[in-house]
Structure 1
């Protein structure tokens, strides 16, 4: 872990890196660099990461229902390491780094909520809303906690872990943990972002099947 020197009274830059080499998958290459890095400073990232649902409703599709028949999807709660726009790297049980230049367009909990909502709408055909749109909890409420949403160095994979809770008037409370992992060969913003999008969609499909059951 390395700290870069300051370059001005109002500019502070710190960089933390862990690097390792493994055989590259690309033809003709001999080594690929795997790095879990974070940097803070004035330089903007080359791109912002986002999540997109693989099962979004088609354009022009419409659902109609009363509030009591709708599915209300809440934004998951998160711990502090996920309550930000950087992508964490689990270095050890007690150490976190961040993927260099990997910045979300929004906080991952809100992005993941969007994937959940679109997947549920596409898979169930039901009306899916957020609590702001309904102003109540009279329908089926899907909430929960996003436990993990980043790269795990020991597993060499991204991991998405979501504890889902269903509340519905007149029925018992239900809770279940869902998890998906996707291997990552080169740890950079593009590869980690794509893998997290894939894992998030896998978890969303699992949750949609659970809700339907």
Structure 2
């Protein structure tokens, strides 16, 4: 025989309606606690991948100049394959998957845009702003489209491919940049550093092109 639900301040059983309410509250609380303890069915990755600039502005250094002469670097456009935080795997020309147990700390476009800005800024030749910076009033812009930033199963290499568009004084210039780094294994521990190296190689070439 089940014990009746007791009022916190009494040893007498609760009336029927209040007993039902107490049961509902108890069930809701149990579900809430279960949601706090069990964060998801899948096991979270051991670490998150990011991009770190190999050419970075040293502490204490900076640039100065007129706002209208600054270069504004925009996050690249991407298709739906790269619009998520998972690491894309090109299986063949018509099939895309995602690398197991690998997640970016942020969207690839955001990471690559920040890497571009920092690499160009590190050259110390010009003011560089991100597109969301309120001080960015210049019409000198670097935009583009990130076509690939993931693992290519066919060539067993990571690939970073970027179509850059430079706008200055009403003139446009475009160029495609690409870097491939072979990898021995298709896992997060191997692919992550290789993607960082490939992205930095592309960012360095873009910085050379910008001048």
Do the structures match in fold with TM over 0.5? yes
List aligned pairs for 1:119-138, cutoff 5 A.
Answer: 119-134=119-134, 138=138
Contact 1:184 1:195 (8 Å CA) reproduced = yes
Structure 1 residue 103: Cα displacement = 0.2
Structure 1 residue 96: Cα displacement = 1.0
Structure 1 residue 144: Cα displacement = 0.2
Range moving further from structure 2, 40-49 or 100-109? 40-49
Structure 1 residue 190: Cα displacement = 1.4
Scaled by the length of structure 1, the TM-score of the pair is 0.77
Unaligned stretches of 5+ in structure 1?
A: 1-39
Q: In the TM superposition, what whole-angstrom CA distance separates every residue of 1:164-203 from its partner, at most 9, and x where no partner exists?
A: 0011124x20000000000000110011010000000000
Distance, in Å, in 1 between the alignment partners of 2:134 and 2:180 is: 34
1:67 aligns with 2:67: yes
Structure 1 residue 131: Cα displacement = 2.1
Alignment size in residue pairs: 172
Higher relative strand content: 1
Pair 141,41 (structure 1): closer, same or farther in 2 beyond 3 Å: farther
Structure 1 residue 135: Cα displacement = 6.0
List aligned pairs for 1:99-118, cutoff 5 A.
Answer: 99-118=99-118
Unaligned stretches of 5+ in structure 2?
A: 1-39
Runs of 4 or more, structure 1, over 6 Å off, are none
Contact 2:70 2:136 (8 Å CA) reproduced = no
